[in-house]
Amino acid sequence: MDSIIEVKNLQKKYGDFYAVNGISFEVVKGEVFGLLGPNGAGKSTTMEMLVGLRKPDGGTATIAGHSIGKDASKIKQEIGIQLQSTSLFELLKVKEIIELYASFYPSHIPIQPLIDEMLLTEKQNSLVKGLSGGQKQRLAIALALIHDPQIIFLDEPTTGLDPQARRTLWDIILTLKERGKTVVLSTHYMDEAHVLADRIGIMDQGKLIALDTPNNLVSSIEAESAIEFKTKSPERVDEFNHLESVTNIVVNHDFVTLYTRNLQFSLIALLEYTKEKDISISDLSTRSATLEDVFLSMTGRGLREE
Ligand code: ADP
Ligand code: MG
C-alpha cells in the first residue's frame, strides 16, 4: 500500500482535556478515507492539525512525505481544504471569489470548467450570500481544488444539507476520487461514510476505536440483523443473552437493541421467552446491521446522541 498520509500518536490537549488522544492511521493514495464519529469525537481537531491550523501537543504526521509543523508551505501545495468553519466572503460574487483564490497560488486550474463541474454555472455572477447551503459547500470545494492539490480535506461537507444537496455532493466527491485525488472526509452520517469511504476510522472521545472497510466493520460485530424494541423491564435484558443466535445487547433507557446472527431464530426465541416470563415488550422492529451498529455496539451510544 502506498500511503500518502501517515499519522502517529497524534494528540491535542485543551487544559487537561484530550480532544485528540493519541491516534494513528495511514491514508492510502487515491482512497476516500472517512473519519466517522459523533459530535465532539475529535474529527475537526484531527483534520485541523493535519492541515496546519492547530499545533499538536504530541505525535507526528506526514503528508505526501512532508512533516506537519515543519514543511507547512510544501504541504499547502499538496492539499485543498474545506473546513467546517470556512467562512466565505459573502459580498463577493461566486466567480470573483474563485478568481481571488486562484490569484493566491503560482498556478491554478482553468476556472470556468471548475465552476461548471461544481454545478455553479448559473450562480457564477451571484453574490455568495445568496447561495443555498449546498451551493456554498460546492463553492468551498471549488476553492479547495483551485490549485490542483492531490489531497482534499472535507470536514462534514454535507452537515445541514437537504437529502438532494447531499447526494449531489456525494457525486462530486466520488468524481474527485475517480480522478485520482485522495480525499479525507469527516462525517457523523454513517450512510455517507458507507457510500463514500473506501476505509473508515471510527472516532470517539479523541480516540480511533476501529479502522477498516465499511463492509469489514459491519461484519466485525458478527450480527446480520438488529431487533429493536422497548421494554418496561430493562433490568432483565441480560437474560436475552441466552437466546438463540444473539451476539450482543445494547440498552438505552427503555430501548433495547439486540444483535443476532440469525434473525428468524432470535425473533422467535425472544417472543417465546418474553411471553413465558411475562416481560412486556413493544414497538418491535427489525433491520439489517449498519455502521451505526458498529458504533453502538462498541460504545453503547448512538452516533447522533450528545
Ligand atoms: P468533532 O469535529 O468530532 O465534532 P472537535 O474536534 O471539534 O470534534 O472537538 C473535539 C473536542 O474538543 C470537543 O469536546 C470540543 O468541545 C473540544 N474542543 C475543540 N476545540 C476546542 C478549543 N479551542 N478549546 C477547548 N476545547 C475544544
Ligand atoms: Mg467537527
Any idea what the CATH number is for the domain that residue 250 is in? 3.30.70.100
Q: Using alpha carbons, list the distances in angstroms from residue 176 to 75, 106, 121, 143, 194.
A: 19, 22, 19, 14, 17
Q: Are residues 36 and 158 in the same domain?
A: yes
Q: Please return the burial class of 82, using the count of CB atoms within 10 Å of its CB with bins 0-12, 13-18 and 19+.
A: buried
Asked if residue 203 is part of any domain, the answer here is yes
Residues of the chain with pLDDT under 50: 306
Please report which ligand is nearest the Cα atom of 37: 1
- State pLDDT tens for residues 43-66: 999 999 999 999 999 999 999 999
Residues 235 and 209 in one domain: no
Tell me the best of 44, 57, 204, 301 to mutate to test the pocket of ligand 1, counting ligand atoms within 8 Å of each CB and taking the most. Answer: 44
- pLDDT at position 86, please? 66
Same domain, 33 and 89: yes
206 and 232 assigned to the same domain? no
Shared domain check, 96 and 12:
yes
Measured from CB, residues less than 6 Å from any atom of ligand 1 are 14, 19, 37, 39-45
Do 53 and 131 lie in a common domain?
A: yes
Nearest CA to ligand 1 atom 17: 19
- Residue for cell digits 461566486? 94
The reply to whether 208 and 228 lie within a common domain is no
Closest protein CA for atom 21 of ligand 1:
14
- CA–CA gap between residue 257 and residue 298 (Å, rounded): 13
Domain holding 152, by residue range, is 3-215
Q: Give the pLDDT score at 252.
A: 86
Residues 42 and 92 in one domain: yes
CATH of residue 74: 3.40.50.300
Global pTM reads 0.89
Tally of domains in the chain: 2
pLDDT of 83 reads: 86
**Most ligand 1 atoms within 8 A of CB, residue of 18, 45, 47 to mutate:** 45
Q: Are residues 198 and 249 in the same domain?
A: no
158 and 247 share one domain: no
Distance CA 266, CA 271 (A): 9
Ligand that lies nearest to the alpha carbon of residue 156, given by its number in the listed order: 2
For residue 176, being part of any structural domain is answered with: yes
User: How far, in Å, is the centroid of ligand 2 from the Cα of 159?
Assistant: 10
262 in the same domain as 125: no
Which pLDDT value is given to residue 205?
Answer: 96
